[in-house]
Amino acid sequence: MNTVHCLKLDKQAEALDRAPWPGELGQRILDSISKEAWKQWLGEQTILINENNYSPINPEHKTILQQHMVKFLFDED
């Protein structure tokens, strides 16, 4: 099992198997976010999608979700 020091959970935890997002952000997530924290984000994302009627295929909504994701995972704007 691969592990990573998860910035979200501030502990060693099981690493993701692959980058869950394209580009540099995906690599940053792969390098510093655990499977557990990513699963928490997916739950949060589902809530955001349902409450705000976001469509992940809409480019504007995808940008908004990405901003929420960065804030959630890395506690930054």
| Domain CATH for 38 | 1.10.3880.10
Which phi-psi region, left, alpha or beta, contains residue 33 (left: φ > 0; alpha: ψ -120 to 50)? beta
Cβ–Cβ contacts within 10 Å for residue 41, how many? Answer: 19
Q: Tally the domains of the chain.
A: 1
Query: For 9, how many CA atoms within 13 A lie in the half-sphere containing its CB?
Result: 20
The residue segments making up the domain with residue 66 are 3-74
Per-residue pLDDT of the chain (77 residues; tens, 9 = 90+): 899 999 999 999 999 999 999 999 999 999 999 999 999 999 999 999 999 999 989 999 999 999 999 999 999 75
Confidence (pTM): 0.92
Contacts 24+ apart (CB under 8 A), 19-23: 21/66, 21/69
